[in-house]
Structure 1
Amino acid sequence: MNQSVHALEAARTLGATSRGAFLRVALPLARPALAAGMALAVMETLADYGAVQFLAVQTLTTGVVRAWSVYGSTASAAQFALPLMGAAALLMWLERWGRKGRGFESPNARWRPLPTTALSGVKAWGATAFCLALLTFGLLLPAGWLAWSSLDITPEWPRLQRAALHTVSMGGIGAVVTVLLAGALALGARTMPLAARVASLGYATPGAVMAIGLLAPAAVIWRIFPGAASGFGMGLVLLIYAYAARLMAAALEPIDSGLSKVTPNMVWAARGLGRTEAGAAAAVQIPVAWGALLTAALVVFIDVLKELPATLILRPFNFDTLAVLADNYARDERLSQAGWPSLMIVLIALPAVIWLSRKVAASRPGADA
């Protein structure tokens, strides 16, 4: 979406077909975004807890939670967590190594609307069927089953409303804090590359491990300030901190991919016109990467909506989210009752997906040309 038309036009004038221009020009230029998306998907799979725990699949993540919650051993939990963090570090290193010495920006970009092709016949039906299959198997079938099984159950509306309010507020605050911190790290990546890479390792760390790790420094604070131990705000601060540390890579990778389109010449030009480093970032880098910032906020917001282990451990007393309610119902074998908070998570996420997707599409330079 953020690629320049001139690269595709140059490929066409050199004799490439539309398919050839896509495969040999557009796809290689999209490598940073594709690599970032693949890294996030792999790390999300490594750190997933809710699905594998409910389906009784033994993974390193379930081993971490079991070692802490059943056996009470933080040392064993750390031993299970280290391979996950090592796998995340290896993925990050391989992606950066493969991109080393290569450029993916268009310094002489001509920002005009990208050309589109209207399909017809078999191609149109095939494209429609492919998109409908993704929507049907990824959303409509599971959501439809949940809705059908929940029809005969009267929901606990007051409890659901409180949980929905908590979910939306924590998702919004967590997304803003995480994107702000990730943006600062991405802008300073040239001077502090190691800090950005280390911060990304949290995405492969299970939420339970992140929460257990935060309990140690929190205990020191509670000993120094005994009144903070019972403070409602202290629990929320720890929870927001856990979200930011856990989901930093989810925000950092899209933002870093968006900032890769900013050439050094752009920044030098802004500095030459009297801008400070912060001013150059505000005037040049952030506007160019605005779509990536919105994408990062979307990913973090949705991840916070369904984050379970960290919320279970760090949440203040009587502070339930929809994910916690769904887990409690599922543990009690009340699957029909669990359908209501599960569907509410989907309903809350859908408007954010639609709105932010449109904002991302409109953020392309020259989109209104």
Structure 2
Amino acid sequence: MIATAAALCCLALVPACAPSSPHAGPAADGRPAAFQHPGVVVGAGQLRTARKMVAAGREPWASAFRRMSTSKYAAAGYTPHPSATVACRSNHGTPACVFERDDAIAAYTQALMWSMTGKQAYAREAVRIMDAWSAVMKRHTLNDSDLQAAWTGSTWARAAELVHATYPRWREPAVMRFKWMLRKAYLPDVAAKVPDYNGNWELAMTDAEMSMSVFLEDHTMFDHAVSRFRARVPAYFYLSSDGKLPKPPPGGTIKSPDQLATYWFGQHTYVDGLGQETCRNFMHIGYSLAATAHIAETAWHQGVDLYAQEAKRLGAAMEFHARYQLGAPAPKWLCGGKITRTMGPDLEVAYNHLHNRLHMALPETERLIKKQRPGGTDGLFVAWETLTNADNPGSGKA
């Protein structure tokens, strides 16, 4: 769906621009009555706010924009490296795995540059990258195929959503070919069942499914992503209200106390905010927090409030991990007193909702975010979220 003329002029920086239409409320069955565009992780109101802050030189947006605009992903003449097959084995993927992730982030970066500057050259670059991949891409293979498709599928969808909603020169049949690529080369992987895998997999896969559902305007896909979110998030982040033990992964075989302890990397003591991969490393916890927020934020822009169900759980997880990421010593009961502090720039989206919309006090998270700003990209599926989401509730409400 192409945006209205009013929305187009807003996003193209035309000064005498009318405000965008009001955000649609949730339908009775918890699905959007009509999909809102742009509406994958970032909405039109947030883009307008970010653009104004950058133009005014306000922080942290100005620094975030400088970091993005000087990155390799924003370069003029960026060279994509599309492949028909992307084969990714754990820790030993082909070069195509890195190229695919980089190219998807580059397409999204160029799309954001277009939105921030109004320079059509950036929109053309984003289109050129997406068209290069959709012309040849067929499949993902090997044992990391689901995760690779999730990371890149979510990013491709963000890029395509922003360009399609604001740049009418990206036309058929190129748009349809890109949609076909998402359905054939990404959806089968991200819709796969992986109940006994580490939870960051299914959360990333659900992020991609949710993101693609909005761009493709697919209600069935959207509903499936909502169901997965509601089942997996409570099984990944623990709250004492769950009982003495964490919820088992939905649809899986891990159920007994000993099985759960092994699945939670040897952890036997469960406290509010602990994550299934806390004792693995904080990098994967960060991935899971980011993916969880992406899913909920995209649904929010579509008028469906997934945050409401899990705000307490998400806030507890953020505060718990931010405290230790900032350097608090780990007690013996937590991962044997040894934790790996490797969390990336993963908290902006969730913090923006919980703190700036719901007014939750999250002091540890705030300290960590301010220390990490301006957030860049993790090279996988998180990109430029200080620019788009910092202190930026947006105009829409679920």
Provide TM-score, normalisation by structure 1.
0.29
Provide TM-score, normalisation by structure 2.
0.27
* Bigger fraction of residues in helix: 1
Higher relative contact order (CA 8 A, sep 6+): 1
